[in-house]
């Protein structure tokens, strides 16, 4: 069982590699055709020898195929598949681990040889070897998504040194150096785009197939593929600190965080295996005292069947493989779980708490409404924009994005009125731009209807008269409505919004999205208190979705912390349990569905393994099952469980 644990926990690590650097075990991949075929040769050889032996036994065509020749033939068939297992069993015993599947298989098959059941002894070990091959192939398939990420790691960087671009190892590039990325190449390190524009494919790291257009001075991330033209980037992180390197490390080590189900099964197998060994010994000898006509060979055969059936291979293989398949499927969808335990935790969530800005909204101010009492819209906006050009406030930036018609006006004598707005001259007229307090201080009469507006509002007065206003709001993300609908569809009963934005805006957004309740005007510590109060309610499991920066305390305190758009956020990668690598809140529902599918597959495998094994154990103890049924109950069920786990790689979650 230790062997399997290494394979599943440390995929991609050196721990399970052979002396030549290739992965150990039955890895069907290799650099040459013969390498791909080589792992199957022992099983093929044993299979051919077994079939020939059974055929000769059945038809009795060769009189000399008896005695030591028959024993030698089946021994030769046994060794290619049996010797590695016996060796593993012996190594485990030397390390103090007696009750492994290798020990069980070795005792059962050598016992079959001892009582003359040579074909069955070979068959048990052959099918076990085939099961190992299937397991290895299934693990390699589950690793496919991780390999896609590994392939996203660039192995070369063109860095500007001594008057030209030279190819170097990305690990030698320092922060602040300029690198060049040609068409079709991967960006080797995180940085800032120096070129005017770039079209990037980020599918390997975000799961999104649609190319991203990045403008000058915007962030770019290692692993993105440059699609259009040669671009230049200034590096902002060393290779080891790049987002792709940290995400890869996190994904590769995700299976180290075992789910409770997986931990239970492993502990159970440690207790269960020695129990069945002693039961098998009892099944061999105890009938001597209770059964008339006791035949040692018959009861030993039943005990050997008992041993083969009791081997916990199907559970030990398929359950970790199921969770690993779920982790791989999630990463393919741009969702990173930090461990199998969070796949399980996600299925128990019944309350989702969301931040507003950057989670369901874009976090960018946009003009929502323009109203003027005495000017045409374009003329009104020219006056407003002339004033806002003198300000660096985020709201001023939103106003200046407006495309006004006509000749732009200039403002003079502009002064800031602290906490209220701006005062200046435009086109020979005195202009006031700011909040209601500014208007009141200058005795400007403001329409009463403006009191009902919850969004940020910019009021304008020209020559002592109210001229109009502009409302500024943070835009909802395109999939915000769809996200809430899908989250409810995934079985979440309560959706709550907690925001640092003012309460009136928070309430309006929550109402528009049909959330259960909302609260605004909160500091990070206030959000933390609210989530802790929710967790105190019986049966409540809370997932918090935030941007991973100012929400770090709440992400850490919730049952499942989910960071939005976490690719560029160091805090998100460090703090969150689940990272959605794009800015799509609807992926929260997909994360729940992947968790549910994984749990369903795992419990199907547990039920299948225990059900079949129990039936054959009872039949074997009663002498109604042969070693062939035992093979099916062990290796056959393991193969079925593996095939069931592989289904996760083909599932679609919409």
538-574 burial code (b ≥16 CB/10 A, e <16): eeebbbbbbbbbbbbbbbebbbbbbbbbbbebebbbe
As to burial, measured by CB atoms within 10 angstroms (0-12 exposed, 13-18 middle, 19+ buried), residue 592 is buried
Rounded to 5 degrees, φ, ψ at 353 are -110, 130
Under 8 Å between Cβ of 21 and 12: no
Rounded CA-CA distance 458/456 in Å is: 7
- What Cα–Cα distance (Å) separates residue 165 from each residue in 156, 162, 496? 12, 8, 52
As to burial, measured by CB atoms within 10 angstroms (0-12 exposed, 13-18 middle, 19+ buried), residue 535 is middle
What is the SS3 string spanning 231-272? EEEEECCCHHHCHHHHHHHHHHCHHHCCCHHHHHHHHHHHHH
Rounded CA-CA distance 331/582 in Å is: 12
Closest alpha carbon to 384 in 429, 431, 428, 341: 431
One of 190, 344, 355, 634 is an active-site residue; which one? 355
**What token pair was written down for 309?**
């059936």
| 501 catalytically annotated | no
Taking the CA atoms of 491, 523, 502 and 415 in sequence, report the sign of the dihedral they define.
Answer: negative
**What token pair was written down for 26?**
């039955």
352 strand-pairing partners: 495, 543
As to burial, measured by CB atoms within 10 angstroms (0-12 exposed, 13-18 middle, 19+ buried), residue 601 is buried
Closest alpha carbon to 572 in 336, 234, 349: 336
Strand 351-354 with 542-546, pairing: parallel
Could you give the 3-state DSSP secondary structure of residue 210? coil
User: Tokens 């560029």 map to which residue?
Assistant: 568
> Pseudo-torsion of CA 232, 235, 238, 244, nearest 10°?
-60
114-131 burial code (b ≥16 CB/10 A, e <16): eeebbbbbbbbbbbbbbb
Residues involved in catalysis: 355
């Amino acid at each position: 069982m230790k062997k399997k644990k290494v394979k599943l926990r440390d995929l991609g690590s050196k721990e399970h590699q052979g002396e030549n650097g290739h992965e150990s075990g039955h890895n069907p991949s290799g650099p040459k055709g013969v390498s791909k075929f080589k792992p199957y040769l022992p099983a093929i050889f044993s299979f051919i020898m077994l079939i020939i032996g059974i055929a000769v036994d059945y038809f009795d065509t060769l009189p000399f195929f008896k005695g030591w020749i028959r024993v030698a033939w089946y021994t030769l068939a046994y060794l290619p598949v049996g010797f590695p297992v016996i060796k593993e069993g012996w190594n485990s015993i030397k390390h103090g681990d007696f009750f492994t599947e290798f020990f069980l298989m070795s005792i059962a098959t050598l016992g079959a040889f001892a009582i003359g059941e040579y074909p069955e002894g070979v068959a048990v070990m052959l099918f076990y070897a085939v099961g190992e091959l299937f397991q290895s192939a299934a693990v390699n398939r589950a690793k496919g998504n991780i390999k896609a990420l590994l392939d996203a790691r660039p192995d070369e960087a063109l860095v500007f040194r001594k008057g030209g671009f030279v190819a170097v190892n990305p690990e030698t590039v320092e922060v602040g150096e300029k690198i060049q990325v040609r068409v079709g190449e991967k960006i080797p390190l995180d940085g800032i785009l120096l070129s005017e524009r770039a079209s990037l494919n980020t599918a390997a790291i975000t799961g999104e197939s649609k190319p991203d257009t990045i403008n000058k001075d915007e962030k770019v991330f290692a692993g993105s593929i440059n699609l259009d033209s040669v671009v230049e980037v200034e590096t902002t992180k060393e290779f080891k600190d790049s987002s792709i390197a940290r995400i890869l490390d996190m994904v590769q080590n995700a299976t180290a965080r075992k789910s409770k189900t997986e931990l239970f099964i492993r502990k159970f197998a440690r207790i269960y295996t020695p129990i069945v060994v002693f039961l098998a010994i009892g099944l061999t000898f105890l009938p001597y005292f209770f059964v008339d006509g006791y035949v040692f060979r018959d009861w030993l055969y039943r005990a050997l069947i008992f041993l083969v059936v009791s081997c916990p291979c199907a559970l030990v293989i398929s359950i970790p493989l199921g969770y690993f398949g779920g982790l791989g499927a999630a990463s393919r969808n741009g969702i990173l779980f930090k461990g199998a335990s969070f796949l399980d935790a996600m299925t128990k969530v019944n309350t989702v708490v969301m931040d507003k800005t950057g989670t369901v909204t874009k976090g960018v101010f946009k003009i929502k409404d323009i109203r003027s009492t005495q000017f045409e819209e374009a003329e009104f906006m020219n006056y407003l924009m002339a004033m806002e050009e003198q300000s660096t406030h985020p709201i001023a930036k939103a106003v200046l994005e407006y495309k006004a018609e006509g000749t732009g006006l200039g403002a003079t004598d502009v002064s800031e009125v602290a906490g209220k707005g701006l005062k200046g001259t435009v086109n020979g007229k005195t202009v006031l731009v700011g909040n209601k307090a500014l208007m009141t201080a200058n005795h400007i009469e403001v329409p009463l209807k403006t009191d009902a507006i919850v969004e940020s509002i910019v009021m304008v007065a020209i020559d002592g008269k109210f001229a109009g206003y502009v409302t500024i709001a943070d835009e909802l993300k395109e999939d915000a409505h769809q996200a809430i609908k899908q989250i409810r569809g995934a079985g979440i009963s309560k959706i709550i919004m907690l925001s640092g934005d003012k309460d009136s805006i928070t309430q309006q957004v929550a109402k528009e999205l049909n959330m259960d309740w909302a609260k605004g005007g909160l500091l990070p510590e206030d959000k933390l208190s609210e989530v802790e109060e929710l967790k105190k309610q019986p049966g409540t499991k809370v997932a918090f979705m935030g941007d991973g920066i100012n929400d770090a305390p709440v992400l850490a305190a919730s049952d499942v912390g989910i960071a939005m758009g976490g690719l560029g956020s160091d805090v998100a990668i460090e703090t969150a349990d689940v990272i959605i690598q794009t800015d799509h809140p609807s992926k929260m529902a997909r994360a729940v569905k992947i968790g549910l599918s994984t749990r369903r597959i795992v419990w199907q495998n547990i039920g299948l393994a225990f059900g079949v094994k129990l039936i054959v154990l009872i039949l074997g103890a009663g002498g109604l099952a042969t070693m062939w049924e035992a093979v099916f109950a062990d290796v056959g069920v393991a193969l079925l469980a593996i095939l069931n786990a592989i289904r996760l790689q083909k599932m679609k979650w919409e």
